[in-house]
Amino acid sequence: MKEEFLKPLILTTIAGLSTTIGSLIGLAFKKESSKFMSSVLGFTAGVMIGVSFFELLPSSFESIGFIKSSIAFVIGFIFMFIIDYFIPHEYIGQKEKVSEKTDKNLLRTGLFVAIGIAIHNFPEGMATFYSSVVNIKVGIAIAVAIAIHNIPEGIAVSAPVYKATGSRSKAFLWSFLSGVVEPIGAVLTAFILFSFLNLQILGFILAGIAGLMVFISIDELLPVSKSYGYSHLPIISFICGLAIMILSLFLLKKG
């Protein structure tokens, strides 16, 4: 493996396998904290919006200009919408209480959530890896956003599988598999797609990633965060996530 690929691959792997952190949280607590989930999801939305509008789009503007970047942003948004439409996934509590499901339905829910998250994670892994190769600071910002995003997804996989089967190992395994798809996307990019990419294509990719992240934030994270019944907590968490991401980007640029 080329030396310049090592750090990006490590970053992507950490981001992807953050689902296992969520899995451990889901297994540690017998009852999921709705306040915790609402806070994490709102915070993650703020992080993703921050990195999209304060890093990815400005970098794309410099590479390919406003019009092309805007088109790529919309394409990324629509692309994620299509994936989400055909392969949807839910967080715990998004539509119905876990305790109201049978064990069979719980297991089915957990497995389908794992599959949905895996499909969502694949393009995220490609994007994180390539961005890290070109600009490690941008890659770090994206990896942090995705890692935080993946924690509640890990909870969404492990909790229903564990409640349905009583097996911690099975719950952890499915959570792990849903996250490991992200570094697989990175490896595919490194050994197959990387030679075809250039600065112009990177501009389109960065804007497309921004569209992808904005879609996830406004269609999934914020609505689900609000669904737990806290009217102001999601917004406060969103502002905190946005502020922290802006601060981290400032420190990265300053460094």
CA distance 191 to 1: 9
Q: How sure is the predictor about 235, in pLDDT bands with cuts at 50, 70 and 90?
A: very high
Helix 199-215 vs helix 34-51: angle between axes, to the nearest 10 degrees?
150
The pair of structure tokens assigned to 17 is: 């396998």
pLDDT at 4: 74
In this prediction, residue 252 has a pLDDT band, given cuts at 50, 70 and 90, of low
Per-residue pLDDT averaged across 126-137, rounded?
A: 80
Q: How far is CA 2 from CA 100, 124, 154, 163, 188, in A?
A: 51, 21, 31, 43, 14
pLDDT surpasses 80 at 41: no
Instruction: Indicate if the pLDDT at residue 101 is higher than 70.
Output: no
* Residue whose structure tokens are 């969502």: 120
Q: Does the structure show a pLDDT above 50 at 250?
A: yes
3-state helix, strand, coil in the chain (%, to 5): 85, 0, 15
Mean pLDDT of 177-198: 81
Residue 213 contacts residue 149 (beta carbons within 8 Å) = no
pLDDT for the residue 50: 86
**pTM (two decimals):** 0.66
Q: How many whole angstroms separate alpha carbon 220 and alpha carbon 89?
A: 9
Digit-coded pLDDT (tens) for 49-59: 887 898 889 98
Q: Look-up: residue for tokens 């939305």?
A: 45
Helices marked H in the chain: 3-16, 19-28, 34-51, 57-64, 66-86, 103-134, 136-165, 168-188, 199-215, 222-227, 233-254
Are the C-beta atoms of 241 and 50 separated by less than 8 Å?
yes
Residues whose CB is less than 8 angstroms from the CB of residue 3 and which lie 6 or more positions away in sequence, other chains included: none
pLDDT exceeds cutoff 70 at 106: no
Task: Please give the Cα distance from 135 to 180 (Å, whole number).
Answer: 23
Say which residue the tokens 């406060």 belong to.
236
Our CA dihedral for 101, 106, 110, 116, rounded to 10 degrees, sits at -60
CA atoms in the 13 A half-sphere facing the CB of 203: 15
Confidence of residue 97 (pLDDT cuts 50, 70, 90): very low
Whether 217 has a pLDDT exceeding 60, the answer reads: yes
Is 161 or 168 the better-scoring residue by pLDDT? 168
**What radius of gyration, in Å, describes the C-alpha atoms of the chain?**
18
Average pLDDT of the residues of the chain: 78
- Break the chain into its structural domains and give their ranges: 3-254
User: Mean per-residue pLDDT for 89-114?
Assistant: 54
Residue appearing with tokens 């090592």: 6
Q: What average pLDDT score do residues 56-85 get?
A: 90
Report the percentage of the chain scoring pLDDT > 90. 9
Measured distance between the N- and C-terminal CA atoms of the chain, rounded to whole angstroms: 28
Contacts of residue 67, defined as CB under 8 A and 6 or more positions apart, other chains included, come to: none
